[in-house]
Chains A and B, each alone.
Chain A
Amino acid sequence: MEPLFVFHIGPAFDTFVNWLKDNFEPFFDAIKTILDTGITGIESALMFIPGIVLIILFALLAWKVASKGVAIFTFLGLLLINGMELWPETMETLALVITSALIALILGIPLGILASRNKTFDRIMRPVLDFMQTMPAFVYLIPAVLFFSLGKVPGAVATIIFSMPPVVRLTNLAIRQVPTDVVEAAKSFGSTSNQMLFKVELPIALPTILAGINQTIMLALSMVVISAMIGSGGLGRMVLKGIQEYRIGLGFEGGVAVVILAMVLDRITQALGDTSN
């Protein structure tokens, strides 16, 4: 069918991205340096510790915060990854997830708090979050590459954007769900707004915020895998290699490693939420 009128918004976006690139080069360079340092730092730390030690540490952590079952699963699962000779790739992925998720949380939780306090800000945030969350993940990769070229940094940037919405939304929701009369009680005793936030609202909201943190970590993991397409390495690269070279077995192994990592991260972070409840 002939369109009623032709109107592309793509070129405008092109122009916008190019303008950003031309005018904010130092800014993007700074971000790049920071992210790069973070990622490599965590990565080398994870690689420095012998695999088996790390596996035991993870299992112990799972035991402490979750349960014996989760601890056993963690131990066996990670052992399997190690056995499939995917350990370095898994640590690369984990480092990227940790960095991205951490930054997403550092930015996202305050944004959520702000949105819970300010109606106008909440109204502005909402469509922005919708955009961040529903825009197909691959689309982030293109401008990320443009600003940060190929590698781990654009992967981290795309991951931060993609994984931030849940923690913003749930922090906002969690604080709004603190019972009115409890907030009134805190007010009636003469709390300042900081006392209200840190002594009453955040502690009561914590379980829901932790659910948001869990979601953010999960989304970060899924995006980190996709970002292998722009050269961020890790387990995603194994999956991609499997597809490109038609090596089904390799792709499957990479996929299983992602699933194990996801489940371990999920169970541990979810248990954190349950214990605080």
Chain B
Amino acid sequence: MAKIEVNNVFKVFGSNPKKVFPLIEKGLSKEEILEKTGNTIGVNDVSFKVNQGEMFVVMGLSGSGKSTLIRCLNRLIEPTKGDVLIDGENVATADKEKLREIRRKKMAMVFQNFALFPHRTVASNVEYGLEIQGVEPDKRKNKAYEALDLVGLKGYEESMPDELSGGMQQRVGLARALANDPDILLMDEAFSALDPLIRKEMQDELLDLQDKMHKTIVFITHDLDEALKLGDRIVIMKDGAVVQIGTAEEILTEPADEYVREFVQDVDRSKVVTAESIMRKPDALISSKDGPRMAVRKMKEEELSSVYVTDRHRKLKGVVRIEDTMELISDGKKSLDEIIIEDVPTTSPDTPIIDLLPKAKDSEYPIAVVDENEKLLGIIVRASIILGIVGEEE
């Protein structure tokens, strides 16, 4: 079961939202509906699923409805129509008590402009969620201190929020959300108000924290780079509707339409496209049980000067060069083992291209892509790295 399931959610702002639905069915545009009824469609028929432990990024420009959408998840904004299921429970139809319970236990939110309580100390900001649940003062203070330690704010517990820098304030915001130990974090443009260096630092830290915590995170951003960096999956929104849902690579390599294509054209692909998607099948590949003659034949066939050698289970052993192989034949030896060069560049399939560049530069052999069991998955020649960066298929 998905952790969060959003089914056909609509949010219509205006005096008579019900009037809008027949018009949407007729296929009228957002502008036409606004003109005819005076109602604005904030979120238009959005559906998606978020899995447990996933970092799900909602990306869109301002006015795309992304902030409205995230508020429909905890009903800071009431969805006009549709279901929001958290662990199979419908938030959209929950009564007051139930909704309060869900907000207290299941999810916590981090806000763009931090939204800290200015009259409370850092620690008592972080305690707030527990305080209103009636948790005892000692216990909630401990939890608050722990959460602050986790986000690197040890020593600032008794400061006031306005004594802290923006980045630190947002750490308080994050700690406040974490103190409740919710399953789900809703992060509404959480890093957008920070300057670029701090923002990058916070992104890295969020990724580190996520490695430890495995929360389900819905992260809103208008920044594509941020979306690509953070998102396990990304949904791109435009005019309140979903344009595309997919992994960063899917969005870069197979944009759903012209809008997404234009959006992603300036992206630094080398940080996103991974070894796996540019590697090719190692056609020139021999098993170590094959002899030198087999190896030479293979290299001649493929017009190569070296070839990768694996064992019977395709586990990488190394590379042999044509000149060494010829020598082996003239010496009359049968086993390749003594000429295998084991010091070859390897990489994991999920390494971004940018990290392959140094390896490609220093090595005369193609880079071998291997999985965690050293099994050879493919090889990457320099040309494919370049093609991968400019975004062209071979």
Contact = CB atoms under 8 A, between A and B. Distances in A.
B111 interface: yes
Interface in B33-49: none
Given A190-B129, A190-B133, A185 B103 contact: no
Given A185-B109, A187-B76, A187-B103, A192 B115 contact: no
Given A179-B115, A181-B115, A204-B117, A188 B132 contact: no
Contacts of B76: 184, 187-188
B113 interface: yes
B274 interface: no
B108 A181 contact: no
Contacts of A184: 71, 76, 109, 111, 115
Contact of A188 (B108, B113, B119, B131): B108
A203 interface: yes
Interface string B103-145: 1100111011101111100000000110111000000000000
Contacts of B71: 184
B288 interface: no
Contact of A185 (B101, B104, B111, B119): B111
A199 interface: yes
B180 interface: yes
Contacts of B129: 189-190
A187 B113 CA distance: 16
A184 B100 CA distance: 13
A206 B120 CA distance: 13
A152 B132 CA distance: 46
B128 A189 contact: yes
A200 B108 CA distance: 17
Interface string A150-187: 00000000000000000000000000000101101111
B115 A190 contact: no
Contact of A195 (B112, B132, B176): B132
A188 B128 contact: no
Contact of A190 (B101, B111, B119, B186): B101
Contacts of B180: 189
B216 interface: no
A191 interface: yes
Contacts of A206: 119
B74 interface: yes
B101 to A, nearest CB: 7
Interface residues of A, number: 18
Nearest to A276: B119
A203 B116 CA distance: 13
Nearest to B105: A190
A199 B128 CA distance: 9
Contacts of B74: 188
Interface residues of B, number: 27
Given A195-B132, A200-B117, A203-B119, A189 B103 contact: yes
Nearest to A191: B132
Contact of B103 (A181, A190, A204): A190
Contacts of A199: 128, 131-132
A204 B128 contact: no
A212 to B, nearest CB: 18
Contacts of B111: 181, 184-185
Contact of A182 (B101, B117, B186): B117
Interface in B169-200: 176, 180, 186
B86 to A, nearest CB: 14
Given A181-B111, A181-B113, A199-B132, A192 B100 contact: yes
Contact of B104 (A182, A189, A200): A189
A190 B106 CA distance: 10
A189 B112 CA distance: 16
Of A185, A191, A206, most B-chain CB atoms within 10 Å: A185
A213 to B, nearest CB: 18
B297 to A, nearest CB: 68
Interface string B69-80: 001001010000
Given A184-B76, A203-B119, A204-B119, A190 B132 contact: yes
B103 A188 contact: yes
Contacts of A185: 109, 111, 115-117, 176
B109 A188 contact: yes
Nearest to A187: B76
B78 to A, nearest CB: 12
B133 A186 contact: no
Contacts of A200: 117
Contact of B100 (A179, A182, A190, A203): A190
A206 B113 CA distance: 22
Nearest to B96: A192
Nearest to B120: A203
A14 to B, nearest CB: 44
B177 to A, nearest CB: 9
Contacts of A190: 100-104, 129, 132-133
A277 to B, nearest CB: 10
Contacts of B132: 189-192, 195, 199
Nearest to A179: B115
A41 B81 CA distance: 61
Interface in A206-241: 206
A105 B100 CA distance: 33
A186 B118 CA distance: 12
Given A181-B113, A186-B128, A188-B76, 9 more contacts: A181-B112, A182-B117, A185-B116, A189-B129, A189-B176, A189-B180, A190-B101, A190-B103, A200-B117
11 contacts: A181-B111, A184-B71, A185-B115, A185-B116, A186-B117, A188-B74, A188-B103, A190-B102, A190-B103, A199-B131, A199-B132
Interface of B: 71, 74, 76, 100-104, 107-109, 111-113, 115-119, 128-129, 131-133, 176, 180, 186
Which 3 pairs across A and B sit closest by C-beta, in order of nearness? A190-B104, A190-B103, A181-B115
